[in-house]
Structure 1
Amino acid sequence: MQPKFRRRRQLALALGIALVVLLVGTCTYVWYQRDVVAVRDYAGEGNGNIVMVRVSPGDSVDSLSTQLVEKGVVGSRRALMSAAERKEPELQAGYYPLQEEMSADKALEWLSSEDRRRGVVDIPNGLTLKDVKVVGGDNRKGIFTLISEQTCQDEHNCVSVEELEKAAGQTPPEELNIAEWALEPVKARGDDPKRIEGLISPGVHLFDPTSSAKDILASLLDTSKSEYEDTGLLSSAQAVGLSPYDMLVAASLVEREAPEGDFDKVARVILNRLHENQKLEFDSTVNYDLSEVEVATTDEDRRRPTPWNTYAKEGLPETPISSPGLQAMHAIENPADGDWLYFVTVDRNGRTVFNRDFDAHERAIEESRRNGVLDSNR
């Protein structure tokens, strides 16, 4: 046999063997994927390696299946969906510390456990960044404390209030995702952590509890920016005649000063006073910088100059004094019609009297004192 033909025959034989090996390998792979991987289900609570899984609002087991399989939490989508049919879990938005190689049943059990839910902070309307001590009452937890508590439920990560304050005051505002319309006043406050007061909106926020203090704040500030702008803030600011940031500051005053049902009237009082260059003189702005607060304030406190005390300074405070809710935002964006310059709550039911005339306002104040609303033991 000629050497050339022998080489061709040997090559053909080698190719044939390679094709057989490839065919066998492909068949084996298909069988493994179809009959092993596709239905694979691990046993128990996992191998100890923590995997953080995010459940967003509206997520279902089906929408989470790819994430859970790719992160190695469960063995297969089929096992997960079969478990879901049996357990019918109720999912809540949040971050859940699961483990690699969990049984599908156990993974769903942990995903629907409130005790294992992390990275969810529910910020009430009118809350401040720092804790507040109320005279004759309990301490009111601030936003920094609520965030810290969410990160400190597990040993692997705990962001302290001090770390959050440092990040708020010392991180360049652009890196915190501060809204462009708030950049200048935020920078003007230097390294004061209160420079981001009011910029984290009320409501439920999700954040990765394993993140750094800076990244957590950047996440919350980014979502809050969109939520505030979605109220129509930018267009309303032009109509009202304030900057978007000052609209937020004014809304925070409405939030802390206005009784239920009178938000739009209080908003009008604020705008009227600003228009007439009359001091706002709100006790809430005095209280903001005090270590202990109550409804009434002392003469000494009202005389003390601060960046917020509207008894001692003209115009609005330099920052918001709380996180204003949707009702307060809508009120400053759509204030009531009226010429009022004064208002005071006169009874325990929240009835509030609005006046333009100062003598009439003084009479309303006396009524309030008689009813014990303005009483103070300080």
Structure 2
Amino acid sequence: MSDQWRPVGENAHYGRRAPGPGDRYVPEEGPESADTGYSDPGYAEPAYQDSGYSGYSDSGYSDAGYADAGYADAEYEDREYRDGYGESADYADPPEYADRPPYTDRPRYDDETQVIRAIPAEVGVASHGSRAQARRRRQASDRRRRRGKWVGSLAAVMVLVVLGGLLFVGGKVFFGADDPPADYAGPGGEPVVVEVSPGDTAEQIARSMADKDVVASSNAFYRAALLDEGMNTVQPGFYSIPSRIPAAQAVSALVAPGARVGHMVISEGRQLHDSRDVQTEAVKKGIYTLIAEASCIGAEGAQQCIEYDELNTAGAGDLADLGVPDWAADAVANVPDRDRQLEGLIAAGSWDFDPTADPTAILRKLVTESAAAYEETGIRTAGGHVGMTPYEVLISASLVEREAKPDDFAKVARVIVNRLAIGQPLQFDSTVNYSLDTTELATTDADRAEVTPWNTYASPGLPATPIASPSIAALQAAEAPEQGDWTYFVTIDQAGTTLFSNSYDEHLSNTRHALQSGILDSGR
């Protein structure tokens, strides 16, 4: 609140595809493709239909190989046949039939059905050439049929060979060998930390497991992962897994509750150090405590953790080593308390860090990535609109976060700007509480009178550092405050109702409502 009456607030599917040169026999477009006897993909010969032949009209025969104008008188020449695989076969020319006796009807067997088919009793020659020519036509057609059957059989064999090869090669690609992949059988060793990065596939996780010696081979883990639906629940982050264990156990360990380490959630308005609630005596964990707890590795009772004091010492170290951004470095270098120099520079949100890293490296990751998130809001330049540096905007945002509900963020940000513009002390109770590492909606006269670099009752201007980690919404409000002439505000009930005014008399009237509700009663 403002003045002494301001309360505090807190992957692989096999499917059909179009035939290709390497998959099956596909007849080329050309003379022989028109032979309807082999138009069926199964290469089956159609049943013979006797039409009572009045002669070989052969009106549907479109074989270009017999389109020669001199065909009727020329001697038959069988061409070299080339199939889709580039192979060829030579067939001997038939003997000359010109001097043979006249054609005599006889029964003939179909090669596939073994059904005797009737041959026309009389073959006319008046309109379609000699009997020898007709005979050659039939024999050429028979050869094409036999050739088609042979090619069809070859194509079927080739399809089986290709599919077998794909399965063989695919198996080697997925599993690396013909035999089962190497796998550990022992009870396991010391736990190691494995990182799962955003977008990692099961194969990539398997490689990470093998690299960390959790499993004997990535293929063993991959096979086991395919059988465990729990893999679908794995989130990016760091996981503590026993080393040198069977792949199936490694998968179970990865998806087990509690396997994730180095994970924490920093709520909006949380401070760097622990704070105590004056009314309930409850301790609110600070960011350093959250990091220390998230860093623990190993079974309960034998855990290895980074200590709070280690983090506090690291956080008071060199600013460059800690990743403090250039827009905050000068101000942070002048912070009077080194233990508080990183206040506000670690953003609220969900975090993952490598718990095996040293404290300085962990803090550097958090500070660097937080600065990047802040910069996405325009913090580097937005302060120019309100007469603040980027670091001062961050401080203002932390006050907004601790003093108001989200609906009132932009108005409180305007009160800060208006008071600073006229040289009026901010007098925020949240800054008094910060100095004491306590939280309470009300403060005492003695507390407000204590001079500290953060107490805005006793010191003019903004506090020396942010007093908490602001939300992005609070930061945006500080960068672009709502237009208004307010210089006072007070929360009047437990629901968080806040009244704004631009005169002290009106503010006193609003404060009486707060006193009547009991919200300003102190627990000290």
TM-score, L = length of structure 1 = 0.86
Q: Which runs of 4+ in 1 moved over 4 A?
A: none
Call closer, same or farther: CA 1:128–1:151 in 2, change over 3 Å: same
Q: 1:265: which partner in 2?
A: 411
Distance 1:342 1:291 in 2: 25
Q: 1:26: which partner in 2?
A: none
Distance 2:337 2:487 in 1: 35
Q: 1:162: which partner in 2?
A: 309
The percentage of aligned residue pairs carrying the same residue is 43
Contact 2:428 2:457 in 1 (8 A): yes
Unaligned regions of 5+ residues in structure 2, if any?
1-171
TM-score, L = length of structure 2 = 0.63
Contact 2:278 2:523 in 1 (8 A): no
Aligned-residue Cα RMSD (Å) equals 2.0
- Give, in angstroms, the shift of residue 66 of structure 1: 2.2
Equivalent residue runs for 1:16-35 within 5 Å:
34-35=177-178
Q: 1:125: which partner in 2?
A: 268
Distance 1:190 1:239 in 2: 28
Q: Per-residue displacement from partner, 1:156-187 (whole Å, max 9, x unpaired)? A: 63211111111111x21100011111111211
- Give, in angstroms, the shift of residue 356 of structure 1: 0.4
Contact 1:45 1:99 in 2 (8 A): no
Call closer, same or farther: CA 1:159–1:71 in 2, change over 3 Å: closer
Q: 1:151: which partner in 2?
A: 295
Contact 1:268 1:340 in 2 (8 A): yes
- Give, in angstroms, the shift of residue 234 of structure 1: 1.2
Equivalent residue runs for 1:198-277 within 5 Å:
198-277=344-423
Contact 2:261 2:296 in 1 (8 A): no
- Structure with more helix by fraction: 1
Unaligned regions of 5+ residues in structure 1, if any?
1-29
Aligned with 2:195: secondary structure? strand
- Give, in angstroms, the shift of residue 58 of structure 1: 3.9
Aligned with 2:398: secondary structure? helix
Contact 2:413 2:477 in 1 (8 A): yes
Equivalent residue runs for 1:30-179 within 5 Å:
34-36=177-179, 39-43=181-185, 45-46=187-188, 48-88=189-229, 89=231, 90-137=233-280, 138-154=282-298, 155=302, 157-169=304-316, 171-179=317-325
Counterpart residue identity of residue 54, structure 1: E
Counterpart residue identity of residue 185, structure 2: A
- Give, in angstroms, the shift of residue 111 of structure 1: 1.4
Q: Per-residue displacement from partner, 1:227-267 (whole Å, max 9, x unpaired)? A: 11122211212233211100100000000001231111111
Distance 1:301 1:200 in 2: 28
Distance 2:340 2:186 in 1: 47
- Give, in angstroms, the shift of residue 54 of structure 1: 1.1
Aligned with 1:35: secondary structure? coil
Higher RCO (C-alpha under 8 Å, 6+ residues apart): 2
Match for 1:350 among 490, 493, 496? 496
Deviates more, 1:221-230 or 1:50-59: 50-59
Contact 2:406 2:474 in 1 (8 A): no
Distance 1:124 1:291 in 2: 17
Q: 1:299: which partner in 2?
A: 445
Call closer, same or farther: CA 1:335–1:369 in 2, change over 3 Å: same
Counterpart residue identity of residue 124, structure 1: S
